[in-house]
Amino acid sequence: MTAWEATLDLEAGSAELSADATSLRVEKGTGGMQALGDEDKDNIHQTIDDDVLKRQNVTFHSTSVEPAGEGRYRVEGELTLVGATQPVTFDLTVGDDGKLDARATVTQTRWGVKPFSALFGTLKVLDDVEVVLDGKL
């Protein structure tokens, strides 16, 4: 997603994120007979906007942010997708230079989201999607 806002307060142990669902962009596709072209990516973007995320913002609200050793934190909270809220836990690393790195696996069907599929199933997104946060304080 290219349009999002986040607040991280390590002292207070809180994290918040709000992302504009319409800013989701496909970066790459692997495993197919040919690479995804720009038109393919545009069509996928339109389908995700209209049918998958339905133009509803994605939000995260932490319930705890706990130190886990040298620049690492364990973050627990609630992720809301398409109006459904489920718990999610992930690790966050804060580098000496303020660089942030976090990764979480989101199983779409837990939120009632049907994984994207097109061309009679020859083009599809797996149920488990890795979400990567790469930022700086």
Question: Residue 104 — pLDDT band, cuts 50, 70, 90?
Answer: very high
Count of domains for the chain: 1
100 and 108 in contact (C-beta within 8 Å)?
A: no
pLDDT digits (tens, 9 = 90+) for 41-70: 777 778 778 777 788 889 999 999 999 999
What does residue 86 show for φ and ψ, rounded to 5 degrees?
-140, 150
| pLDDT tens digit sequence for 3-25 | 989 999 999 999 999 998 888 77
pTM of the model: 0.81
Tell me the CATH number at 33.
2.40.128.110
Coil, helix or strand at residue 42: helix
Separation between Cα atoms, residue 90 and residue 56, nearest integer Å = 23
* Structural domain boundaries enclosing 11: 4-136
pLDDT at 109 over 80: yes
User: Cβ contacts of residue 42 below 8 Å, gap of 6+?
Assistant: none
Mean pLDDT value across residues 74-93:
95
- Alpha carbon distance 107, 6 (integer Å): 22
**In contact, 65 and 13? CB cutoff 8 Å:** yes
